Structure 1
Amino acid sequence: FHRAFTRLTPATVRALNDAVVQAAVALGLEDGTQLRVDTTVVETDIHWPTDNTLLWDAVRVITRLVKHLGEHVPSVLTGFADRTRRARRRMQEISRLTPAQRPRQQTRKYRDLLGVTAGVVATARAAVATARAAQPGDPLAGALVTGLCREIEHFGGLADRVIAQTRRRVLQGEQVPVHEKIFSIFEPHTDLLKRGKVKSPVEFGHKVFLAESRQGLITDYRVLDGNPVDEGHVPPSLTQHQATFGRAPALYAADRGFYTPDNVEALTAAGVVRECIPQRGGRKTDERTAHEKSRAFKQGQRFRAGIEGRISVLLRGRGMRRCLLEGRERFEVFVGAAVLANNLLRIADLMSRRVARRRRAA
């Protein structure tokens, strides 16, 4: 199973999900008349990122790879020193500093840790150059050496980014923009997300957009880059729904983060009969106030609340809370697989209920 799963691509999983939704439509289980949308966060498998732990990660990983390289090309170890013990000590010392000690000791300890990390990266690159100049005659060993050299170069580049952001923040006192930061050398695609949640003010992973039908099927999902505002997801979700069902939903429900006048106009122009998105800020017109106080709007908002339960099912029941797979592409496959599992189980449940109703009617 694992071998087959690792061969899946995001496009393949999306095609499978689209086929499952179309099968539900063909079976008469879903008609696409109602749609509710929301976003959530799926975490990447990383530890809480701090500059000192990221530098320590770089030192220990690069050192381990160079030692593996030395098993095939012993000459690369000449001039390469194992600095992991010193790096670990500095990392731990920085972590244990009290608020009173930080102003006096933090900069000095970071300078030492930065020097160790930069030295390890430099000697590792020299080891790579030596290994490439002395390629072993055995083709298999040569392939292993090439692969190790690529890994060392990959982590060396990430280590350079960690060194640069640490120098800017700690030594130069600069506020490094979020989009320029790296939060893990193992999952460098990880985003920092602040959604104003009390229990989770800061999350590390990716924001995921979800669109759910009346019967609990996820008809659209997207793994997003950064932390885009929710209002930008309405037009593409409407286009995707029209492509899947051949028409716009009669009811489109979302929270106030999705509201803009342009989105309301786009939904109306597409043929949405009941737009149920609360206005966000600003003075409401009498017409808008009457619309949001109407029974139909309140019913639509109660329907919208159901996607919170679906998100909980995905995160808790389908294992989508934290992705243990490596890389951005595998992350998208993981999210798609959780959505696929949800849709298949929902279809099975709907079909079993249909059979039970027919038996009772007979």
Structure 2
Amino acid sequence: MQGETIPHAEKVFSLFQPHTEWISKGKASAPAYAGFAYIPVGKAGVPVELGLRVCIVENQYRFILHHQVMEKTTDAQIAVALVEQAQARFAAVKAMSFDKGFHSPANQTELKQHLENVILPKKGRLSEADKSRESDPEFIRLRRQHSSVESAINALGVHGLDKCPDHGIDGFKRYVALAVVARNIQRLGSILREHEQQAADRRRGPYKKAA
């Protein structure tokens, strides 16, 4: 009003959920988070994202070990704290793969003090040292496993975390935490079904071809 420019930090994007943040102005976000609310406004076919980012840490067995609701913060700002919090619960965590959004020179250095293997691709142009680091076989091997986290993100979204029906920031955090618990229970059930199927296959024995 009257030509006034409102600082971004003071803008309110929802009268009913004041914790709502502007996630994207129309470009798809990197699939590192769950819990986004997609509001189809703006240009046709280009969604604007409003909601809150949620970062998850998944292990090699596809269980979610830790999650964090990101209030007014960026990927790079939470990287070190995320590792510290995950290791406080699971001391055996010695390697972790990140999206490029978590990169910063400081994170590259500090994360090495907490992890034996830091799989953190650099954004933008790579130096010769960066190219050498990212072409290391161990870096490549662990980086390839990173894409599996997308299945957890998709599962959270498909089972209701694309929209939070609860109210307030405490309700949002509670809903996210319950969704993570539900996802881990679902994963446990999937493993049990696989074991039962394998046991049934062993009891039945190998199939014999007809003469």
- Asked if TM exceeds 0.5, the reply is yes
In the alignment, which residue of structure 2 is the partner of 1:211?
Answer: 57
| 1:197 is aligned to 2:43 | no
In the alignment, which residue of structure 2 is the partner of 1:305?
Answer: 147
Counterpart residue identity of residue 135, structure 2: K
Answer whether contact 1:178 1:192 (CA < 8 A) is retained.
no
Task: Give the length in aligned residue pairs.
Answer: 187
Q: In structure 2, how many angstroms separate the alpha carbons of the residues matched to 1:188 and 1:245? A: 34
Alpha-carbon distance, 1:176 to partner: 1.4
| 1:232 is aligned to 2:73 | no
Compare CA radii of gyration and give the structure with the larger one: 1
In the alignment, which residue of structure 2 is the partner of 1:289?
Answer: 131
- Counterpart among 185, 191, 197 of residue 350 in structure 1: 191
Alpha-carbon distance, 1:218 to partner: 1.1
Overall identity of the aligned pairs, in %: 26
Superposed structure 1 runs of 4+ greater than 4 Å apart: 198-201, 358-362
Alpha-carbon distance, 1:282 to partner: 4.9
| 1:280 is aligned to 2:127 | no
- Give the structure, 1 or 2, with the largest relative contact order (CA under 8 Å, sep 6 or more): 1
List aligned pairs for 1:18-57, cutoff 5 A.
Answer: none
List aligned pairs for 1:1-362, cutoff 5 A.
Answer: 170=1, 172-194=2-24, 196-197=27-28, 202-226=48-72, 228-249=73-94, 251-272=95-116, 274-284=117-127, 286-316=128-158, 318-358=159-199, 360=201
Q: In structure 2, how many angstroms separate the alpha carbons of the residues matched to 1:350 and 1:177? A: 49
Q: In structure 1, how many angstroms separate the alpha carbons of the residues matched to 2:193 and 2:7? A: 52
Per-residue displacement from partner, 1:289-324 (whole Å, max 9, x unpaired)?
Answer: 1221233222222211121222111111x2000111
Q: In structure 2, how many angstroms separate the alpha carbons of the residues matched to 1:175 and 1:201? A: 24
Counterpart residue identity of residue 354, structure 1: H
The structure where strand makes up a greater share of residues is 2
- What is the TM-score with the length of structure 2 in the denominator? 0.78
Q: 1:261 to 1:361 in 2, by over 3 A?
A: farther
Q: Where does the alignment leave 5 or more consecutive residues of structure 2 unmatched?
A: 30-44, 204-211
CA RMSD of aligned residues (A): 2.2
Alpha-carbon distance, 1:241 to partner: 2.2
Alpha-carbon distance, 1:201 to partner: 5.3
Alpha-carbon distance, 1:340 to partner: 0.9
Q: In structure 1, how many angstroms separate the alpha carbons of the residues matched to 2:47 and 2:4? A: 23
The structure where helix makes up a greater share of residues is 1
Q: In structure 1, how many angstroms separate the alpha carbons of the residues matched to 2:108 and 2:196? A: 40
